[in-house]
Structure 1
Amino acid sequence: MTQSRRMLVLRAVVEDYIRSQEPIGSSSLTKTHDLGVSSATIRNDMAALEDEGYLIQPHTSAGRVPTEKGYRYFVDRLATVMPLSTAQRNGIATFLSGSVSLQDTLQRAARLLSQITGQMAVVASPALSKATVRHVEIVPVGVNVLLAVIITDTGRVAQHTLTVRRMPGADDLSVCCDAINRQCSGLSFSKAAERVRSIAGAGLPHAVVALSESLASVFEGMADDERANELYMAGASHLAQQPSMTDMAPLFDALEEQVVLMRLMSTLSEEADRDGVGVAIGSETHTPGLMNVSVVTSGYGRSAAPADASVREERREPPEHVSGTVGKGAISGSSEDVGADHDEPDAGRDRSDGASPQEGAGEPVAFIGSIGPTHMDYAATIAAVRAVAKYLTLSIASGDSMRSDPAL
């Protein structure tokens, strides 16, 4: 019982410090939490937690504040992630539904997440390497030049010029496009390249065969594109306003290194369970400039997940308890493990949020995340990141963000 109570004291310290950002003493815990023991007992528990590395005392006469280890324990056993209010959910849907392109959708999502959390938001555009073919149009634009307009399942619209020695006739071009769309829709770009070449070998006119070979080469180039292409950021000024961020230069240097940031957030989102959220706290980011911040991220646009299942899930009232992976641990659907022995991190862990798992759900095509101080409100940030990620997934699945954008 002593160990269970001690971890309840740790949770209380973390909650109060997140709220006040002031060192927490035993007397204040006695007033704000019903722990059922005296202030002296709580003081002894806090001293033990300090010895175990969960808390630290900034000054001899001051209260205590959580360490990275304390935050990690708290996040791994976060029992209740408060769902967003109906007004907030409706606001997200309304704000994102007004977008005119995928780029606009992602920019709006970054601004929205930053506004909800009061922290910096980062949204990556979907990588072509993880997309599939939705539709292809090929139109003549010159004597020997064709324009291939390729629309992906993630809403990207890519345009490529194809130079041919002989222009296919209108009928041949129409037959070729119909065959490509019929046989390549839903395929990855590498598979689509193979399929296009097989179509070209089906006794079509020479001009169509040459065109198909050029298009197959374009598909192969898109399949090799491993970059997330662009990062959309909003709210960097929120970090500058944090009193704990005394030296901002390393942080902003780290944010400028977009490749490093993309690798970190992409890895966190991919390692999370289905519909999960990944959290890296301070040194867990393995990035010098991010040692004083936490990163909360989730994947979006899981193209292999059935769209109707996603829609059904989003239309449900959000559960009181939300489940998903959080960094090294999980957001549990039960509060029973809050006081569990910390030597058994998976004891009593319920990873279900009451919804049926999405059959065949694939890896995310991109990520969305929030960057804030280590004393951030983890429950609120996790809820916001999950909600906006879900709306992005729905937007892509329904095609709402699929607009022709010359910039792409």
Structure 2
Amino acid sequence: MVSERGLQVLRAIVQDYVDTREPVGSKAIVERHAFGVSAATIRNDMALLEDEELIEAPHTSSGRVPTDKGYRVFVDHLAEIRPLSPAQRTAIASFLEGPGDLDDALARTVRALTQLTGQVAIVQYPSFSKATITHVELVALEPSRVLVIVVTDTGRVSQRLALLTGVLDETDLARVRAEVSTLLVGRSVRQGAKRVEEQAAGDVRTAHQTAVTDILRVVQEELDEFRQDRLVMGGAANLARRESDFRGSIYPLLEAIEEQVTILRLMGEMVADDNGLAASIGRENEAFGLSEASVIASDYDATGARARVGLMGPTRMDYPSNLAAVRAVARYLTRLLAEDEKGR
């Protein structure tokens, strides 16, 4: 059982190691922190922390560094979520405020987090499978080229080009628009995708039916994309800049960034606390092949659809500041999406 002072010593070791990148000794703790006890007493506390596998010596006669278990105890019991500075809040606002669709908002969110923290930023798209289709519009660009626009009640807007087998005049296009709207509007994305699939499987006899089939094929592709889990990520170059902070190779992290599936699974399985914050540290990520990294995340809301904003980096990271950043950005993003919804 670690004493209260022992936990405070762990806090000092984590903070100093994050700040200096150097193993932390008892003398440095006495000099930098007001414990009011001797270096010998701090050494005894450090010995107990080492027995609990919360700190370790990277080599003989060195100071101590936190273990993954030590970082976990620090995050769970010791880390205070620091308020962001006015400059940091201004930076977030400057990135996120302003018009734009969901894709643009998430891209700006990634840039904001990367700039604030110097880590790899991760933003999960919300799942729109339960969103309701509110409008379908067809815009003729040429007689055989139609822009298909699908809008949901979550504010998601998609635009995709349909190349028609035949040619439609304005009257035909109006009929097709009415037919597609009747099929989809007022239904969820999941229901709409099912109805499109059923309709597309029917017999095609006329030019009109062929045009409907061509357009429904494009709609189906778009609705399938609405239901897909995917991420927006940025700042991968930061891994190379921080390569010395990793015990081994950063290749598995780069591979995970490229493929996304592993990070999606990890983000989905992380358990959030009462504040919507979650952290998965070092060897806790071993099952995902990411034992060299820590991932932290905060929930955000996209008009009822929940998703996560997160960071990935080395275990030697500034957890209090990074947790504060993801929480603040998630709150800004939630507010931005809610305001966009009210403005429509």
TM-score w.r.t. the length of structure 1 is 0.66
User: Considering only aligned residues, what root-mean-square deviation do their CA atoms show, in Å?
Assistant: 3.9
Task: Sort the Cα spacing of 1:247 and 1:174 in 2 relative to 1 into closer, same or farther, 3 A.
Answer: closer
Distance 2:58 2:151 in 1: 56
Residue 399 of structure 1: aligned partner: 340
1:114 maps to 2:82: no
Per the TM alignment, residue 193 of structure 1 is displaced from its structure 2 partner at its CA by: 6.0
Could you tell me which amino acid in structure 2 is paired with residue 81 of structure 1?
I
1:26 maps to 2:26: yes
Residue 94 of structure 1: aligned partner: 94
Residue 46 of structure 1: aligned partner: 46
Deviates more, 1:155-164 or 1:46-55: 155-164
Per the TM alignment, residue 382 of structure 1 is displaced from its structure 2 partner at its CA by: 0.8
- Answer 1 or 2: higher relative contact order, Cα 8 Å, separation at least 6: 1
Residue 373 of structure 1: aligned partner: 314
Deviates more, 1:62-71 or 1:218-227: 218-227
8 A contact 2:138–2:149 mirrored in 1: yes
Higher share of residues assigned helix: 2
Unaligned runs of 5+ residues in structure 1 are 198-206, 305-361, 404-408
TM-score w.r.t. the length of structure 2 is 0.77
1:231 maps to 2:232: yes
8 A contact 1:119–1:239 mirrored in 2: no
Unaligned runs of 5+ residues in structure 2 are 198-206
Task: Sort the Cα spacing of 1:382 and 1:156 in 2 relative to 1 into closer, same or farther, 3 A.
Answer: farther
Distance 1:86 1:4 in 2: 33
8 A contact 1:250–1:288 mirrored in 2: no
Residue 259 of structure 2: aligned partner: 257
1:102-161 deviation digits (Å, cap 9, x = unpaired): 433333222221111022222344444364435332345566876431123253424364
Distance 2:20 2:132 in 1: 47
8 A contact 1:277–1:298 mirrored in 2: yes
Per the TM alignment, residue 84 of structure 1 is displaced from its structure 2 partner at its CA by: 1.4
Per the TM alignment, residue 94 of structure 1 is displaced from its structure 2 partner at its CA by: 1.9
8 A contact 2:297–2:311 mirrored in 1: yes
Deviates more, 1:170-179 or 1:36-45: 170-179
1:260-304 deviation digits (Å, cap 9, x = unpaired): 122222433xx3257512211112123575322211123334322
SS of residue matched to 1:398: helix
1:303-340 deviation digits (Å, cap 9, x = unpaired): 22xxxxxxxxxxxxxxxxxxxxxxxxxxxxxxxxxxxx
Per the TM alignment, residue 99 of structure 1 is displaced from its structure 2 partner at its CA by: 6.0
Write out aligned runs for 1:142-291 (5 A): 147-152=147-152, 153-159=154-160, 161=162, 184=186, 188-192=188-192, 224-225=224-225, 226-229=227-230, 231-245=232-246, 247-268=249-270, 271-273=271-273, 276-286=276-286, 290-291=290-291
Per the TM alignment, residue 374 of structure 1 is displaced from its structure 2 partner at its CA by: 0.7
Residue 363 of structure 1: aligned partner: 306
Per the TM alignment, residue 220 of structure 1 is displaced from its structure 2 partner at its CA by: 6.3
* Percentage of matched positions with identical amino acids: 40
Residue 55 of structure 1: aligned partner: 55
